[in-house]
Structure 1
Amino acid sequence: MTRAKKSPAKKKGSTSRSTARASARSSGRFPRFLKALLFSSLASFGAASYVLNPQWRIPAPVQEALTRLGWPQHWAPHREPQRAQPREQAAPAAVTAAPTGAPAQTMFPECRQFFPHSRPPEVPGSQKLREVCFSAFAILHNGQTKTPVFVAERLNRQMLTQAQGQRRTDKFYAEARLPRAERAELDDYRGSGFSRGHMAPAADMSTAEGMAQSFSLANMVPQDQTHNGGAWSSIEQDTRKYVMRAAGDVYVFTGPVYSDKPKTIGSGVAVPSYIYKVVYDATSGRSWVHWQANAASTKVGPPISYEEFVRRTGLKLLPAGG
């Protein structure tokens, strides 16, 4: 008779140690799982936040988290690149004159009220022209010169009467709607010796919002201080006096004109050789242009014709026949 072999009995101590090790591995995996889940959730929340707010900078930990989760390195299409060196050490890019390319028709779909017959101007083209609407004026901005091509206003007696009650704010600011590489900054004017010359004057603004927005640096050019406070100030005042006498709306376009290789201040903000102001009375059909050298010695003189202005600049700011 064959006896059945007995299975060796497991040692009680060995079983306990194995169970303990398995329990330890399991308990170790659970905190790691929670950490991974928390890490993934925070990263996803950060990603969503920066998608909805592309103007924010992405902190390095968040970018690293996104990379681990499989997001592409440059996933935010509007994210501004960080500067490789401090701003004051960056060499300014070469600046060319105002637009000189093939004619381009501007659109301004959100603020056509600033243009006669709601027809925006035709201008020489450029790759860095941007249309920016404000509550009281519209700007065609040139990212090469970091200044306007023109600033358009629609004025009348009622608006200027309301403007007389507005308090001047003098709170200048960089225009955040423009790419950083194409806009002027406050530091560009600091110590330059030039005024931040308004194109749409603060004194034209009939609302508190318009007054505040008129101090955007997108509405400025580097202007000789004596000219800004002297001859040019007289032209602005004379324009308002005319508007107060006019029967209806008066459209005003103001902007700079540059030499082929203009002087710059700061990080490449171009200094204009001339500043113009086109005045068009929509009721009478009359138009004229103030053409002023951006210099301390400039005096108030007779205006030039609109046709001569177009010949000098290529800017067709008024409708045909204006």
Structure 2
Amino acid sequence: MTQKLNHSIQGLVLLCASAATGTVFAQDSCLSQFYQQTPPALVKQSLNKNTFPLCFNGFGLVYSGVSKTPLWSAEHLTAERLSQKIKREDQFHEEEQIPEQFRSTLADYRASGYDRGHMSPNADMPDKASQHDSFSLANMVPQAPKNNQEVWRKLEEATRSLVKKQKQDAYVVTGPIFTGQRLKTIGKGKVLVPSVVFKAVYMPKTGVISAYYAPNNNSQEVQVVSVCQIEQQTGLNLFPQLSVETKRKIYDLPLTTSDVQAGRVPAQIGTDQNSQCATPSASSDIHSLQQSFGNAVQQATQDIEKTVNQEKDNFIKKLLKALLDSVLEFLLKLFKS
């Protein structure tokens, strides 16, 4: 009798404890993906239409209901994080946090001729929860097969190698660039196909900063450019806490893992004096940016909390039943004696 009751009580306590831990993790992990806990800002006002800040395990992003892709996806890479080896399990799924009319769907990508291209890549993820989140379509853009499977894969590998071999933290922002008057679309949902994909990298320890710039086609072309060039073409402020002078610098980021040497820090190879940079954000704007992701955390955890509460209710019902059974068992024994 006592053992049955104790098991029910222990289960309830463990459920409540795990729920509290999960919520704290989400709040702590989201802003930590951004340099100085400040997410990229949407400078171009038209980008704000139907946008959704989303906080995931291991990365954060802003999704556009217009393009039906992320505008950017950001992550904080460390040698410790990348030391975790998680076997890849493809779990592509539609994002239920986004209202249905603004979601990209699995059907949109099917037979489109484009890959579902991760912006924050699966191989950067340190655990199963992060890996699962990385397969959300909110983290995907339609990517040309050779761009995704060849040049982009090599750039992702080179970035990880740079972090691991030099034991430097890196703040990485990845996303699409849409240029031209007539953009391609895929699917009934009219998911926009990017003209270019970019990956901006900032390593605070040594000041290394630049961005990869790859046309979204099968040419396998890639350039290393300034963060300012990306900001001018996207209407984003990728690192709102950094000065214009810093973002104008161009470093020789590695294009493959063989270009990475443990003792060699990428050298500055130029300065971009032509591109229009986003200026550092004011304190009030930074607070607003941070708050938007605080709200995203709250939104992201509502479904989790609802599930936990349902399970908690089930535990309470089991606890009451166990208690009632125990009382009846006791009374029967007392009556028989």
| TM score, norm. by length of structure 2 | 0.60
Within the candidate set 159, 176, 183, 2:81 is matched to 159
How far apart, in 2, do the equivalents of 1:320 and 1:185 lie? 36
How far apart, in 2, do the equivalents of 1:214 and 1:120 lie? 18
How far apart, in 2, do the equivalents of 1:146 and 1:279 lie? 24
Q: Quote the offset at 1:109 in angstroms.
A: 9.3
Partner of 1:237: 157
Q: 1:203 and 2:153 equivalent?
A: no
How far apart, in 1, do the equivalents of 2:155 and 2:183 lie? 24
How far apart, in 2, do the equivalents of 1:246 and 1:315 lie? 29
Partner of 1:113: 32
Q: 1:268 and 2:187 equivalent?
A: no
Partner of 1:187: 107
Secondary structure of the corresponding residue to residue 230 of structure 1: helix
Q: Which amino acid aligns with 1:114?
A: Q
Distance 1:143 1:298, change over 3 A: same
Q: Which moved more, 1:255-264 or 1:307-316?
A: 307-316
Partner of 1:83: none
How far apart, in 2, do the equivalents of 1:248 and 1:236 lie? 16
How far apart, in 2, do the equivalents of 1:116 and 1:246 lie? 19
Q: Deviations over 1:155-199 (max 9, x none)?
A: 11011011xx20111010000000111111110001111100000
Q: Quote the offset at 1:277 in angstroms.
A: 0.2
Q: Which amino acid aligns with 1:122?
A: A
Q: Is the 8 A contact 1:234 1:300 kept in 2?
A: no
**Structure with more of its chain in helix, by fraction:** 2
Q: 1:212 and 2:161 equivalent?
A: no
Distance 1:264 1:109, change over 3 A: farther
How far apart, in 2, do the equivalents of 1:288 and 1:185 lie? 33
- Give structure 1 stretches of 5+ with no counterpart: 1-107
Within the candidate set 63, 69, 72, 1:141 is matched to 63
Q: Quote the offset at 1:110 in angstroms.
A: 7.4
How far apart, in 1, do the equivalents of 2:166 and 2:54 lie? 28
**Rg comparison, structure with higher value:** 1
How far apart, in 2, do the equivalents of 1:185 and 1:313 lie? 24
- Give structure 2 stretches of 5+ with no counterpart: 1-26, 247-337
How far apart, in 2, do the equivalents of 1:112 and 1:286 lie? 21
How far apart, in 2, do the equivalents of 1:258 and 1:158 lie? 34
Distance 1:109 1:160, change over 3 A: closer
How far apart, in 1, do the equivalents of 2:59 and 2:40 lie? 14
Q: Quote the offset at 1:207 in angstroms.
A: 0.4
Q: Quote the offset at 1:299 in angstroms.
A: 2.5
Q: Is the 8 A contact 1:247 1:283 kept in 2?
A: no
Q: Is the 8 A contact 2:30 2:58 kept in 1?
A: no
Q: Quote the offset at 1:311 in angstroms.
A: 2.4
Secondary structure of the corresponding residue to residue 173 of structure 1: coil
Q: Is the 8 A contact 1:257 1:276 kept in 2?
A: yes
Partner of 1:313: 234
Partner of 2:295: none
Partner of 1:225: 145
Q: Which amino acid aligns with 1:293?
A: P
Partner of 1:299: 221
Q: Which amino acid aligns with 1:117?
A: Q
Q: Deviations over 1:88-125 (max 9, x none)?
A: xxxxxxxxxxxxxxxxxxxx997211111111222123
Q: Is the 8 A contact 2:69 2:140 kept in 1?
A: yes
How far apart, in 1, do the equivalents of 2:171 and 2:110 lie? 32
Aligned residue pair count: 212
Q: Which amino acid aligns with 1:287?
A: I
How far apart, in 2, do the equivalents of 1:131 and 1:246 lie? 32
Partner of 1:278: 200
Q: Deviations over 1:123-174 (max 9, x none)?
A: 1232211100001000100000100000000011011011xx2011101000
How far apart, in 2, do the equivalents of 1:167 and 1:253 lie? 24
| TM score, norm. by length of structure 1 | 0.63
Within the candidate set 171, 175, 197, 1:255 is matched to 175
Higher relative contact order (CA 8 A, sep 6+): 2
Q: Is the 8 A contact 1:235 1:300 kept in 2?
A: no
Give the % identical residues.
37
